[in-house]
Amino acid sequence: MTDLAQAVEASILEHGLLQPGEPVLVAVSGGIDSMVLLHVLHGLAPRHNWKLAVAHLNHQLRGRASDLDEKLVRVTAAALKCPFAFERANVKRHAEEQKLSMEMAAREVRHSFLARNARSLGIAKIALAHHADDQVELFFVRLLRGAGPDGLAGMKWSNPSPASARVRLIRPLLDCGKTELRAYAEAKKISFREDATNTVVDIFRNRIRHELIPLLEAKYQPALPRVIARLIDLLGAESEVMAESAHKLRTRRSGLAKAPLALQRRVLQQQIIEMGYKPQFSLVEWLRMRPGKPICLGTGVRLSADEDGKVQLLKQEAKPFETDEELAVDWEAGAGEVVFGGKKLGWQVEAGSNLGHSLPKHQSGREYFDADKVGAPIILRNWRAGDRFWPIGMKGMVKLQDWFTDLKIPREQRHRLVIATTGSGDIFWIQGQRISEKFKLRPETRRRLDWRCE
């Protein structure tokens, strides 16, 4: 038995990933990681009487290359005498229909396919090929996107599938590095296919893999994977303690305001997750610091928290116009729309490069902003005395009252215009007027906020 196979076997036994005689569905893309995982598990299976089945999803994103991936996995499964489950999915259409990034759409479709086939085969475990290098990449992806301790704790050895709580995902390779996997594939002459998109540096994760991590290893910390693995382990253990403490605090149903700040946030975070929404930092902080004030997450969805930290789901109501009305919008929760001041406002966010240079054709009532400069949440309100903003194309700030006067906008109409500000109060959009210079798209823009007003 090779060193890699022994390490994988030890990890499976130490973490209780598979029991003797247990069936497992192995997710195989055709890439080197999953092909090595399949061969290692196949070699270990007779020692533990494990029953292997193979699952492959053709994402249909790379044309003939995707079909060749499918063919390789099919032939390999047949050669190893493993049952084979496969599907072809239109990931691009799913992304467009659900307004998701291609990465998130592929993840949703893939997990749904795997969980569905596992249940149909009577299998409760799905083996994924995530390895130690993936952990390091994921750590930096989440760090740079502002994740908290739970996110930075990385992938677990085992967790429920996001598509079905009855199915568990297991990751037997988490202690193995990419170099070990490649050496094993070469020694065993394992066929695999390279995904050309893994080298495209326009993709955020690929830039971390090919640029950031090599730089950090070469210039700052040669033992980066080991250091990050240790940090992930510490964060994971501490997060478990925090989760348990937050649960105990919730059962008391009082005293949230006197609890440590970290526990206040965790109590709110737990409830948001249980309600099926993403616990973005901006959302948690709004609920924590503004009891009784709602925040909008999307069409028909508003959340509010009371003084004791109890989060409630509110129905969206189209109120009569009120000049003192104010509403927070958390665009990080996903695309959505809301009615405010008699106007329907909608938003979605696009991620990528060159977003400041490739604007869609101009449409009335539609504007674009640098999403990361705007930040979340967005506050919707009306004109107030003393408001100032920086109109695009001008040299500096102007008083909004002077702006209205110069444009001869009637006083009664001024109070009916909807204004959008950042969480810190900077105005970036005024209904029917210019956008703010501070929040316009720039060459370095990585996320573009598409803002609509009807």
What is the per-residue pLDDT across 226-256, written as a single tens digit (0 to 9) for each?
999 999 999 999 999 999 999 888 887 677 8
pLDDT at 321 (0 to 100): 45
- Residues 305-316, mean pLDDT to the nearest whole number: 84
pLDDT tier at 421, thresholds 50, 70, 90? very high
Cα 427 from Cα 158, distance rounded (Å) = 45
Tell me: pLDDT of 301 over 60.
Answer: yes
pLDDT by residue (tens digit) across 141-174? 999 888 888 889 999 999 999 999 899 999 999 9
What is the predicted pLDDT for the residue at 451?
A: 93
Q: Taking the model in full, what pTM does it have?
A: 0.77
pLDDT tens, position by position, 136-146:
999 999 998 88
CA distance 126 to 133: 20
Structural tokens at position 185: 């594939």
Is pLDDT larger for residue 100 or for residue 347? 347
Percent over 90 (pLDDT), the chain: 52
Q: What pLDDT, on a 0 to 100 scale, did the predictor assign at position 25?
A: 97
Angle at which helices 281-289 and 261-274 cross, to 10° = 110
pLDDT at 320: 46
Q: Which two tokens stand for residue 414?
A: 């001024």
In one-letter notation, the amino acid at residue 454 is E
Of residues 283 and 98, more confidently modeled: 283
Average pLDDT, the chain: 88
374 alpha-carbon distance from chain centroid: 19
Residue 99 pLDDT > 60, yes or no? Answer: yes
Residue 454's pLDDT is: 82
Q: Is residue 369 a contact partner of residue 441, using CB atoms and an 8 Å limit?
A: yes
* Gyration radius from the chain CA atoms: 26
Q: What one-character DSSP code corresponds to residue 198?
A: G
Stretch among 28-37, 70-79, 347-356, 390-399 having the lowest mean pLDDT? 347-356
Which has the closest alpha carbon to 387: 371, 404, 374? Answer: 404
Q: So what's the pLDDT on residue 348?
A: 87
Three-class secondary structure of residue 389 per DSSP: strand
- Mean pLDDT on 81-96: 88
Q: Residue 314: its pLDDT value, please? A: 82
